[in-house]
Structure 1
Amino acid sequence: DENYILVDICANLVNKKFSRDLESVIQRATDAGVKKMVVLGTSAHTTKEALRLTRMHPGTVYCTAGIHPHDAKSWDDDTLEVLRSVASSPECVGIGECGLDFSKNFSSPECQVEVLEKQIALACELQKPLVLRERAAFDAMEEVLSRHAGRLPAHVVLHCFAGSAAQAAAYVARGCYLGVGGHLWKEPEVLRGLPADRLLLESDSPFLWPNARALPAALRAALQPRALRLLERYCSFQRNEPCCLPAVLQLTAAVLQLGAQDLALRSTYTALSIFGLD
């Protein structure tokens, strides 16, 4: 049975790769069972664009308000008010994507920490979930989270988790939730260490395409016909789509040795609860 009800906690639908056929992309996703999608804000501009999308697709598309660590250096006197204004809308369900990305350092580490702390303060003020990105910055992120311990919002999500099993365990011990995309099947020991009720599914489209051809035979066998067809027909290295989420679900369930429907129910319940989606 491939009739799932899924929530994609990160679909970058304001990306220009979707500008020509966004309606079809959203329709394909909802037909595939992806009934709700969260578009993460990454700059003042994309945050406002994400809010605009929620108005065009009420009840299906939601957004967050945030400044990506790559864009931390763009923070100016108006940024906080832009984020606060968007975040005051009911369609905006979190603060982020914010965090630390030391893998590229498009903004300096000091600037990234400063801008992250401003967004943590906003999430606490508005009592909205915090959506974090962390790349090659685990120790620094632990330091920031420790500094704010007791003052963090009720729900903290590590979107598109890409760290080690030990790092995953440390985040879970803090009460964080981890976003799982089409790449984590390559790290089965990381996935297997995660409690199923701490997992959220995400396409991270148009990025993180789950390449079915690269899968080991045992995992490829876990893909059901419909999910595989959607993956092969509509998703590629050039552009992943939210309709890949049933495939991400089936791969993740196979690694965890859970039924796909069981994991779908758990991850959807978690996403609806955390983000307060109606």
Structure 2
Amino acid sequence: MKFLPDDSDSLFVKVCYAVPISCVTFLLTFYSIALLSSANRKYYRLLFKHFINLISFYQQKKTWRKRIETFVAKKETIETFTTYVVENLGSGVHEKTLEKSLLQKEESDVIINVYVDLKNTSQRKALIQVPYHCRKSCDLMSCNNTKIDDRKISIKVVKKRKHLLQKDFKLVSPKPCVISTEERHCDNEVWKMGSHTEYLLIDGGNSIMNIDKQFLTSVLTNSDEAGIQCMVLTCRNLKEIKQAVRLCERYPGYMYFTAGVEPSYIDQWKEGSLAGLEKYAEHPQCVAIGECGLLGTSSDKQEEIFRQQIELACKVRKPLWFCSVKADDRLIPILQEYKDRLTGMCVGEYEPMGRKVFPHLIPRLWELLQMGSYVSVSSWSMSLGGYTTNWFRDWLDKGYISPYNVIFTSTAPDTEVFNHDLKDLMKKRASGGFKYLQKGTVERYYINSSEEMDGDPSCLPVLLEVISSHLNCPPQKLASITTNNAQTFFNFK
């Protein structure tokens, strides 16, 4: 009597043997697990759930690619300057007079030039150019029909540059920018009425409150020309929050900030720090709590302060901006507790623990993404190590990170945009390394770079096109999706 089929038996006989043997093996395995302790059974259930979630994460790359194919990018515009003409000014009106009368506060970024009206030399006209980042703080149309020197002024928006050129102004300013109509035709830098229509972006994280004030105007001008419609200043301690508040209040509607204490600054955490943080969190331009989180050498104090800031985010109903530096084992269980109470969360700085221990054979960033967390992407992300060299770049190439989870951050002034010069980027582009990277985009950023500063938010178009190349996603679509992600996360209206 034989218990196993041999090669001479038919397929039917082999199946008849295989089915009952498989059933018996399954029943014996199930019975063995049932005899285990309740703790072991719980472990196996969690392990089974872990791998089910991991399989679901790997399958995401298929779903978002189908959504991308049907997604239609919006074609939007940013006017780098809004140009106004102010008419019916008296002979005693000069630039300083208009600055005091029309602007709520001194604004060096606004350009004001006064001219004599040729038709009536007792009257003057003014050309006022308001950059995009000042549009909310300089609402000139609200001053229309107000009186200056007993004359009711008229303010009009110049829609097209050709309309402006039809007006023959004679300059009387002490230092005129233009001296003739002919020069107006050839000098585009003076009569800036350009717009950026290619991408519309949001800088989800920078630290420009730390830069020298003398560079601020040029940084914001570069940002306007790069199509950045607003930016968020990421604060790591109370001192930076104070600096950010002062800067944001100067540019309402364009600058926002986060309020939090990073784990590397917990030595500054005092008894009244939480109350002070709550006060800043209630500021109308505060859009998130953070940056907070845990470091790999996290102590109980770090964890306690992190929990307090999560509780604050739940209380004020604002999203959490956090970092995880080799602290997955402690941070992820904490976020699991609060994920249903938080309005949103985004991981800023992330570094995996760097050890391939079963069952965590890949970086645990996937668990954060499965919880609904966004991930900030900057040039720093491209060089993340830990498990393998540049694993983050590999994840982008394989489509494991969906565009619907991405928020772009410039991390200015420390952008480190790949630390390559123009020739290196062009070589990679020529070799097919960056499919969507345009030469003009790189050149614009390269021109704006300086020795005094590592970089500014205008690096985002370069970053966008490089990430688009890795994801194999058209940059126009990626720009629209990531902008919508930032608007949703920060609750921009």
Q: Secondary structure at the match of 1:193?
A: coil
| Paired residue total | 272
Change (3 A) 1:249 1:154: same
User: Aligned-pair distance for 1:149?
Assistant: 4.1
User: Aligned-pair distance for 1:38?
Assistant: 0.2
| Structure 2 counterpart of 1:36 | 230
* Gapped regions of structure 2 (runs ≥ 5): 1-195, 355-361, 383-389
1:189 to 391, 394, 413: 394
| Structure 1 counterpart of 2:248 | 54
CA–CA separation in structure 1 for the residues paired with 2:483 and 2:363: 25
CA–CA separation in structure 1 for the residues paired with 2:402 and 2:331: 21
Output the TM-score relative to the length of structure 1: 0.90
**Is 1:160–1:180's contact at 8 Å kept on the other side of the alignment?**
no
Code of the aligned partner of 1:203: S
Code of the aligned partner of 2:379: G
CA–CA separation in structure 1 for the residues paired with 2:269 and 2:433: 43
The C-alpha deviation readout for 1:26-79, integer Å capped at 9, x for no partner, is: 221121111111001211111121121111111111111110111012111221
CA–CA separation in structure 1 for the residues paired with 2:440 and 2:209: 26
User: Aligned-pair distance for 1:2?
Assistant: 6.6
Q: Secondary structure at the match of 1:269?
A: helix
Change (3 A) 1:161 1:248: farther
1:14 to 184, 187, 209: 209
1:258 to 436, 457, 473: 473
Is 2:208 the counterpart of 1:3? no
| Structure 2 counterpart of 1:89 | 283
Code of the aligned partner of 1:276: N
User: Aligned-pair distance for 1:189?
Assistant: 1.9
Output the TM-score relative to the length of structure 2: 0.52
Code of the aligned partner of 2:366: A
1:215-254 → structure 2 map (5 Å cutoff)? 216=428, 217-220=431-434, 222-235=436-449, 239-254=454-469
| Structure 1 counterpart of 2:85 | none
Is 2:487 the counterpart of 1:272? yes
| Structure 1 counterpart of 2:346 | 157
Larger radius of gyration: 2
Q: Secondary structure at the match of 1:9?
A: strand
| Structure 1 counterpart of 2:300 | 110
Change (3 A) 1:166 1:178: same
| Structure 2 counterpart of 1:202 | 409
**Is 1:100–1:133's contact at 8 Å kept on the other side of the alignment?**
yes
The C-alpha deviation readout for 1:222-265, integer Å capped at 9, x for no partner, is: 32233202332334795221110011111111100000000000
Is 2:326 the counterpart of 1:140? no
Change (3 A) 1:53 1:150: same
Code of the aligned partner of 1:38: V
**Is 1:93–1:275's contact at 8 Å kept on the other side of the alignment?**
yes
CA–CA separation in structure 2 for the residues paired with 1:76 and 1:158: 25
The C-alpha deviation readout for 1:91-144, integer Å capped at 9, x for no partner, is: 110100111122xx5xx5322211111100100000101001111112121122
Change (3 A) 1:231 1:193: same
User: Aligned-pair distance for 1:3?
Assistant: 1.6
| Structure 1 counterpart of 2:259 | 65
Q: Secondary structure at the match of 2:257?
A: strand
| Structure 1 counterpart of 2:368 | 171
Q: Which protein has greater RCO, CA pairs closer than 8 Å, 6+ apart?
A: 1
CA–CA separation in structure 1 for the residues paired with 2:344 and 2:225: 29
Code of the aligned partner of 2:400: G
CA–CA separation in structure 2 for the residues paired with 1:138 and 1:231: 36
CA–CA separation in structure 1 for the residues paired with 2:444 and 2:479: 18
Change (3 A) 1:37 1:69: same
Q: Which sits farther off after the overlay, 41-50 or 125-134?
A: 41-50
Code of the aligned partner of 2:403: A
**Is 1:209–1:235's contact at 8 Å kept on the other side of the alignment?**
no
The C-alpha deviation readout for 1:153-195, integer Å capped at 9, x for no partner, is: 1210001444486422111101100000013345322223111
Indicate the percent of aligned positions where both proteins have the same amino acid.
Answer: 26
* Gapped regions of structure 1 (runs ≥ 5): none
Q: Secondary structure at the match of 1:240?
A: coil
| Structure 1 counterpart of 2:176 | none
**Is 2:436–2:474's contact at 8 Å kept on the other side of the alignment?**
no
Q: Secondary structure at the match of 2:293?
A: strand
**Is 1:209–1:236's contact at 8 Å kept on the other side of the alignment?**
no
